[in-house]
């Protein structure tokens, strides 16, 4: 009995001596590690080999890896210090692998709001290249690289290079529509075989048509007088100051004198290129409409009958016919307010004929 007590005292003395060089952190780690090992042993009371799960390895690695290797050797563990350190390296490797998988390679994605703003600036300013768009973004405080602006425009199918600085004829007509008046001659033949020439103008902004007259002999004097009447009509309507350009073709029927008359009124004449009808495309489109809706459907007896038919069609075109460019309004008629449900229930629409039924207009009965 005395020998056993002496042995226990000796072992406890050496155990206390072993604890002297250990820090509080090492002692706490050893206590937690030993407690965890005790739990492992309790799970294996059936005598089988101890199996450590992934959670056990992770706990021991995170707890013991920060300790020095000498301290690990002093601990009474089920595994060697090298195994503990290997588990810790595996934990760090898996952590970095998951973090790398979450990150996208390359530069971060551009915000959708910035992309929309870049496309909006390019659409509202057709003459701007990607460098000019980038400068405007910098002025607004939006930090983005010029190459990113280039990529956004390229992806959207918009040329980001300086070729966008060229102004096309279509964009010029669209931007200057309020100041443009177009003119052209239309030819037709009466039942008597006489060829008639109709001179008409159309305003690009509101698509209002003016038929200046028709004649079998479009002499220079007749055309000059028609132009003078046009200038007076524009002045009476208060539109002369707004009109700055008149587009016409190179027809020999136009005398050079009309350019001087228009110039004195503040209107610059723009002559289209040779065999380039698209330069006066809006007038050409209206001529095709006039032929399809009137001239190709009417037997014109003589010059007086043609003048009457043209006057009726002009009234119909300016005051009733809808225009897609004007959102279904007419040049001299605004789009009405939508009907109330009660009005829709008791619709009473009447047809009004022009030129004995060649042209139909529909109106409310009251």
- Residue range 44-72, pLDDT digits in tens: 665 556 666 677 667 666 666 666 666 66
Residue 286 — very low, low, confident or very high, per pLDDT cuts 50/70/90?
Answer: very high
pLDDT at 14: 47
- Are 71 and 84 in contact, with CB atoms under 8 Å apart? no
pLDDT(164) > 60: no
pLDDT(42) > 50: yes
Half-sphere exposure of 23 (CA within 13 A, CB side): 9
Residue 214: closest CA among 133, 310, 76: 310
Mean pLDDT (whole number) for 111-136: 86
Q: How far is CA 231 from CA 37, 71, 223, 234, 242, in A?
A: 106, 106, 13, 5, 12
Tokens (6 digits) for 242: 């707004």
Residue 182 — very low, low, confident or very high, per pLDDT cuts 50/70/90?
Answer: very high
Q: Could you write out the DSSP letters of every residue in 119-162? A: HHHHHH-TT--HHHHHHHHHHTT----HHHHHHHHHHTT---SG
In which element (H, E) is residue 84 found? helix 81-102
pLDDT(20) > 60: no
Q: What is the pLDDT of residues 203-221, one digit of tens each?
A: 999 999 999 999 999 999 9
Residue 185 — very low, low, confident or very high, per pLDDT cuts 50/70/90?
Answer: very high
pLDDT at 190: 94
Tokens (6 digits) for 331: 């040049």
Higher pLDDT, 49 or 240: 240
Q: Of 129-143, 150-164, 281-295, 317-331, which gets the smallest average pLDDT?
A: 150-164
- Are 301 and 190 in contact, with CB atoms under 8 Å apart? yes
Q: How far apart are CA 123 and CA 89, in angstroms?
A: 55
Mean pLDDT (whole number) for 112-138: 86
pLDDT at 63: 65
Query: Looking at the whole model, is its pTM more than 0.85?
Result: no
Q: How far apart are CA 168 and CA 127, in angstroms?
A: 10
Q: What is the pLDDT of residues 298-346, one digit of tens each?
A: 999 999 999 999 999 999 999 999 888 888 889 998 888 888 888 878 8
Q: How far apart are CA 89 and CA 84, in angstroms?
A: 9
Helix axes 130-139, 146-155, angle to 10 degrees: 120
66 pairs with which residues across the strands? none
Question: What proportion of the chain, given as a percentage, has pLDDT over 70?
Answer: 73
Mean pLDDT (whole number) for 256-281: 92
Mean pLDDT (whole number) for 15-32: 59
Residue 41 — very low, low, confident or very high, per pLDDT cuts 50/70/90?
Answer: low
pLDDT(349) > 50: yes
Tokens (6 digits) for 350: 């009447």
Residue 133 — very low, low, confident or very high, per pLDDT cuts 50/70/90?
Answer: confident
Integer-rounded Cα Rg, in Å, for the chain is 46
Tally Cβ neighbours within 10 Å of residue 224: 16
Reduce the DSSP state of residue 267 to 3 states and report it: coil
């Amino acid at each position: 009995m005395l020998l056993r007590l002496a042995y226990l005292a000796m072992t406890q003395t050496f155990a206390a001596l072993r604890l002297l060089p250990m820090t509080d952190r090492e002692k706490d780690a050893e206590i937690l590690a030993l407690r965890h090992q005790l739990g492992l042993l309790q799970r294996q009371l059936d005598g089988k080999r101890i199996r450590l799960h992934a959670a056990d390895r992770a706990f021991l690695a995170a707890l013991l890896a920060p300790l020095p290797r000498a301290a690990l050797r002093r601990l009474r563990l089920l595994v060697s210090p090298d195994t503990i350190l290997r588990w810790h390296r595996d934990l760090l490797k898996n952590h970095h692998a998951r973090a790398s998988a979450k990150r996208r390679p390359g530069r971060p994605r551009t915000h959708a709001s910035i992309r929309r703003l870049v496309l909006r600036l390019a659409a509202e300013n057709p003459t701007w290249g990607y460098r000019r768009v980038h400068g405007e973004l910098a002025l607004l405080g939006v930090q983005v690289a010029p190459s990113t602006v280039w990529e956004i425009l390229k992806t959207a199918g918009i040329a980001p290079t300086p070729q966008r600085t060229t102004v096309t004829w279509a964009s010029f007509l669209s931007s200057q529509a309020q100041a443009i008046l177009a003119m052209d001659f239309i030819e037709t033949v009466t039942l008597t075989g006489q060829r008639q020439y109709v001179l008409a103008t159309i305003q690009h902004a509101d698509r209002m048509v003016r038929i200046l007259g028709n004649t079998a002999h479009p002499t220079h004097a007749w055309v000059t007088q028609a132009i003078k009447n046009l200038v007076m009509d524009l002045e009476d309507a208060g539109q002369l100051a707004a009109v700055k350009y008149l587009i016409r073709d190179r027809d020999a029927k136009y005398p050079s004198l009309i350019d001087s008359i228009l110039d004195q009124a503040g209107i610059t004449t723009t002559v289209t290129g040779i065999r380039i009808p698209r330069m006066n495309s809006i007038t050409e489109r209206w001529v095709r409409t006039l032929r399809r809706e009137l001239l190709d459907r009417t037997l014109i007896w003589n010059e007086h009958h043609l003048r009457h038919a043209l006057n009726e069609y002009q009234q119909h075109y300016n005051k009733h016919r809808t225009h897609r460019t004007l959102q279904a309004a007419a040049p001299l008629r605004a789009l009405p307010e939508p009907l109330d449900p009660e009005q829709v229930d008791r619709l009473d629409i009447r047809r009004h004929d022009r030129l004995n039924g060649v042209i139909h207009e529909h109106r409310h009965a009251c």
